[in-house]
Each structure stands twice: as C-alpha cells, then as structure tokens.
Amino acid sequence: MALTLTLATATPGGGFPVYGDAVIAAIREVDPTLEIAPRNTKGSTENVPLLETNAVDLALVQGEVAYEALQGVGRAPSPIRIVAAMYSTPGMFVVRADSPARTIEDLRGKPVAFGARGSGLVLLARYVLDGFGLDQERDFQAVYLDRAGDGPAMVQDGRVAALWGGGVGWPGFTAVAKAPGGARFIVPDAQGLKKIQAKHAFLKPLTVPAGSYPGQDAPIASLGSWSFIMARPGLADDAAYHVAKALHRAEAGIARRLPQGKETTAANTAAAAPRPDLIHPGVRRYLTELGLRTR
C-alpha cells in the first residue's frame, strides 16, 4: 500500500537538506510505494516542535537537540521517537589555511559563525565550549546565520574568523576546503577533549577520517553525537516499520550518494539509541526481525 510522508530538514546549504535528498532518492529506488516529501525548516530546534504537534511525519534532528528533547532537559521529556541513526557529528571549527589561528583559544574575541540559528550544531558548540570553560556569547563575537550556506563565503572574505560545523562531508566545510588557498580545522586538544567529556558525558569521542575533506591528510579527533531521523508521536507502527524496512534496503544507495550516508544502517540505529524505548515501536519490531538487539 502506498504511503506518503513529510520529512523536515533544515535551511538550504546545510547538511540536512543534502542528506534528506539522498535518503529520498535511495528509498525511491528500492520502494516506489513510499513517497517522502522534503520540507525546508530552520533546523533541529524547529523540527522537534513540528514533530510534537504532528505537523510533519518525520524530521532530521541533530544529536544535542535530540538528547535534550528525549531526556527532558529544561522541559518535559518529548514523546517523539527514533526511526534511524543518521550519522555521527564530530564538531570542528574551520578557518582559512592562511589564518593565524591554531587553537580554540586563538579564536577568542573573534567573530565566529556558529551556524544557522535553529541548527543543532549551535547547541553542539555550546556544549563543547562549555566543557572547555568557554561561552559562545561571552568569549566570541557569535554570528548566527539565516542560511547555513552563507557561512563559507564569510570565512573566505574575512567577515568571520572561523565557521563551526560537524561531521564528514559537511557542505560548509567542503566549500571552505575547496576554495583557493584551502582550509585548516581546529578542535580541542587531547586534554581539552577529556575535560569536555568529563562535564558532558553524552558527547562521544568521534574521528573524522583522513581525506574526508580536500587537503585534510590526517584524521581529526573530536567529540560529538549521533543525529537521528525522528518520528512524530502519532506515526502508526506499520508506517514506522515500512520506513525502517525501506531505509535498510536503501543503505547501499544512501552510502553511494553521500560519504556520511555509510553510517545510516539498521545496526547503527540499534547501537546509537540512548535507550531501546526511545526507538519507535514499529522500528523496534523491524530491528528485532533483523536479529539486532537494541541495548
């Protein structure tokens, strides 16, 4: 039976719309009975309330936003549920290769673009910097974008000293790295990473493999979390099961279209969910059929 669902992504030029398009195209190849319509939004912080009010069926939600919603940080725990693990998001700053900045301390007091106002990447930066003993607003000239795609040009023309972002294949990082002169990435040092994780244990050690971006010839160790495809509270179990099955069949197609798409697997969904009950029941049923144990 045909099923049509809406998928909330984020602002043009960011990673979420690119990811959403790759998923939709890969699913269309393997399951023509499932039609997913993308919808641009302001990002993760708008996507959660859209799900909670059943205004969209599915949405892409960055890890820290998902964590706060599901755990009930500063609010009641959200009834939205996980459909799939998207990809892990190690947070980093990018600067032009000719920038004098080598450490996060070097960026203090400088204008830094932290991403689109509604993006979960802004929240990831807040946690990382807080663990480091720094504050986005107090210690930097924080710049928030109307469109995620505006950031790379601001780095290139010097309006900002750095751009914050995350993950493998993130469009903003790719754009800066491909520009004349190239780019360099800045992350906390080993001691800084330990300090951050001691304060915010839900942030996980993650590595950006060498060659993930033009000119990046060594792996980069940072911290971050998993982003998720999430479902509205009223999504029927059969519909969630249908989506989970289509995503599993589309894994190779997603990976082919997008480097970070290699991480969108049923196995990662089972492993990355903080608790089994946070996975949608229809998805849990499909994962169980695959023989995957949700921890």
What angle, 0 to 180 degrees and rounded to 10, lies between the N-to-C axes of helices 15-30 and 237-249? 90
What is the structure's pLDDT at 295? 59
Residue with token string 């993950």: 167
Q: Could you report the average pLDDT of every consecutive run of 10 residues in the chain (295 residues)?
A: 94 92 98 97 96 98 94 95 96 97 97 90 94 96 93 97 93 95 96 95 91 95 95 98 98 95 96 93 97 80
What is the structure's pLDDT at 122? 92
What is the structure's pLDDT at 147? 87
Beta strands in the chain (DSSP E): 3-8, 34-39, 58-61, 81-96, 111-116, 141-145, 162-166, 183-186, 204-208, 220-231
pTM of the model: 0.84
Domains and CATH numbers, the chain: 3-88+226-289 (3.40.190.10), 89-225 (3.40.190.10)
Contact 63, 224 (CB under 8 A): yes
What is the structure's pLDDT at 13? 84
